[in-house]
């Protein structure tokens, strides 16, 4: 059996990055994490960094703004996964340059982890945000770097844990605000599953230069279906407040940053585009749960049970 690729995670101390680091180490990949030295003294992140050591991950110190540290880190591995945050999307051009200079990378997974970018119709400011990610895709392709793009749709922790209700930490029990008419299908994926599918893809020739869509069939639901699933669990009918698209668009225009960005991301994810109405073109993409049936993903139904 071919040995497992050495994986470098950039942004491993971030929200989704920590799940990727854990999944990589658990799958037996020699795992490296680029850490900013200043983050070592962060009260919560320092504990996270300690936990990386217990998984056997190797910590490399560096920063996106220190190009040489990137090249040094990249030279030690086979695969680079970026989970850098929204503010750093543009700066991934430095990662692309460092990968070119290092010359040894078999696969690059840029920071995506969201919608199918080629099939979205976002409004501003989400549109500009998605365009930054698209520019990074085009730069990777122009440089001829082998890649996989991960479309993991909505993180469960962001959208299911409170049923998309602002300022709640659990799904509501009295009323629910529904953006749009609630009839657009979305995909909700638990973060551990995003990690497991992403790591499966890194050494898989079937995902080379393709988009991996994480669309487990049991997790594709309209918001109305989601609400009804939750209502059945708590045996209560919620009062439903619909904010239809025109009103939502007005709210996006009137809200300051970052509320306008959050609302426009939700608009793109849950109101505007049915995440599943486009067939995956096999020359461009593959679906994760079909490719890796051995991953026992958490269904939305099961996920919500934890909150009953």
Q: Under rule CB under 6 A, how many of the chain's residues touch ligand NAP? A: 26
Pairing mode of beta strands 220-222, 185-189 = antiparallel
Q: How far is CA 181 from CA 54, 228, 247, in A?
A: 47, 14, 12
CA dihedral sign of residues 10, 12, 17, 23: positive
Catalytic annotation, pick one of 75, 94, 106, 133: 133
Does residue number 55 form part of the binding site for ligand NAP (CB under 6 A)? no
> Looking at 32, 52, 108, 113, which residue binds ligand NAP (CB under 6 A)?
113
Q: Contact between 219 and ligand NAP (CB under 6 A)?
A: no
- Could you tell me the smallest distance in angstroms from the CB atom of residue 276 to ligand NAP? 15
CB contact at 8 A, 102 and 261? no
SS3 117: helix
Pair 39, 16: CB distance under 8 Å: no
Residue with smaller CB distance to ligand NAP, 220 or 234:
220
From residue 116 to residue 155, what is the string marking binding to ligand NAP with x (rule CB under 6 A)? ------------------------------------x-xx
CB of 142 to ligand NAP, least distance (A): 20
CB 64 within 8 A of CB 87: no
Q: In the Cβ-directed half-sphere of 92, how many Cα atoms lie within 13 Å?
A: 28
Residue choice 83, 219, 260, 276 for contact with ligand NAP (CB under 6 A): 83
Q: Which of 8, 11, 31, 267 binds ligand NAP (CB under 6 A)?
A: 11
Q: Is 5 left (phi over 0), alpha (psi -120 to 50) or beta?
A: beta
- Select 15 or 242, whichever has its Cβ closest to ligand NAP: 15
- Span from 109-117, 219-227, 250-258, 296-304 in contact with ligand NAP (CB under 6 A): 109-117
Residue 15 makes contact with ligand NAP by CB under 6 A: yes
Counting contacts by CB under 6 A, is residue 16 touching ligand NAP?
yes
Query: Beta-carbon neighbour count of residue 15 at 10 Å?
Result: 14
164 binds ligand NAP (CB under 6 A): no
β-sheet with 107-109: strand ranges across:
58-61, 31-35, 7-10, 79-82, 107-109
- Closest approach of Cβ 121 to ligand NAP, in Å? 17
Per-residue DSSP letters for 36-88? -GGGGG-HHHHHHHHHHHHTTPEEEE--TT-HHHHHHHHTT-SEEEE---GGG
E strands of 70-156, at which residues?
Answer: 79-82, 107-109, 148-151, 154-155
Which of 4, 6, 61, 63 is the binder for ligand NAP (CB under 6 A)?
A: 63
According to the binding rule CB under 6 A, does residue 13 interact with ligand NAP?
Answer: yes
* Residue 86 binds ligand NAP (CB under 6 A): yes
- Residues lying near ligand NAP in the complex (CB under 6 A) are found at 11-17, 36, 39, 45, 63-65, 83-86, 88, 111-114, 152, 154-155, 158
Q: Which residues are catalytic?
A: 133
């Amino acid at each position: 059996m071919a040995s497992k690729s050495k994986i470098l995670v950039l942004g491993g101390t971030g929200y989704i990055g920590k799940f990727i680091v854990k999944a990589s180490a658990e799958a037996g990949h020699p795992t490296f994490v680029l850490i900013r030295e200043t983050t070592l003294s962060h009260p919560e992140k320092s504990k996270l960094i300690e936990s990386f050591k217990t998984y056997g991950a190797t910590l490399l110190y560096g920063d996106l703004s220190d190009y040489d540290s990137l090249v040094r880190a990249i030279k030690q591995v086979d695969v680079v996964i970026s989970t850098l945050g929204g503010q750093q999307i543009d700066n991934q051009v430095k990662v692309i340059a460092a990968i070119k200079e290092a010359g040894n990378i078999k696969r690059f997974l840029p920071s995506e982890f969201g919608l199918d970018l080629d099939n979205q119709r976002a409004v501003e400011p989400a549109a500009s945000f998605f365009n930054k990610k698209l520019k990074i895709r085009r730069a990777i392709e122009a440089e001829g770097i082998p890649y996989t793009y991960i479309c993991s749709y909505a993180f469960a922790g962001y959208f299911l844990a409170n049923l998309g209700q602002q300022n709640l930490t659990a799904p509501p029990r009295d009323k629910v605000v529904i953006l749009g008419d609630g009839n657009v299908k979305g995909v909700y994926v638990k973060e551990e599953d995003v990690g497991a599918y992403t790591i499966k893809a890194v050494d898989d020739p079937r995902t080379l230069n393709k988009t991996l869509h994480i669309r487990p069939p049991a997790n594709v639901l309209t918001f109305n279906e989601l609400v009804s699933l939750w209502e059945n669990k708590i045996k209560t009918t919620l009062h439903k407040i619909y904010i239809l698209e025109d009103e939502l668009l007005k709210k996006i225009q009137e809200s300051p940053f970052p509320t306008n960005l959050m609302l426009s991301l939700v608009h793109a994810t849950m109101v505007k585009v049915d995440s599943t109405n486009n067939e995956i073109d096999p020359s461009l993409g593959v679906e994760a749960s079909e490719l890796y049936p051995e991953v026992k993903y958490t269904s939305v139904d099961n996920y919500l049970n934890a909150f009953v």
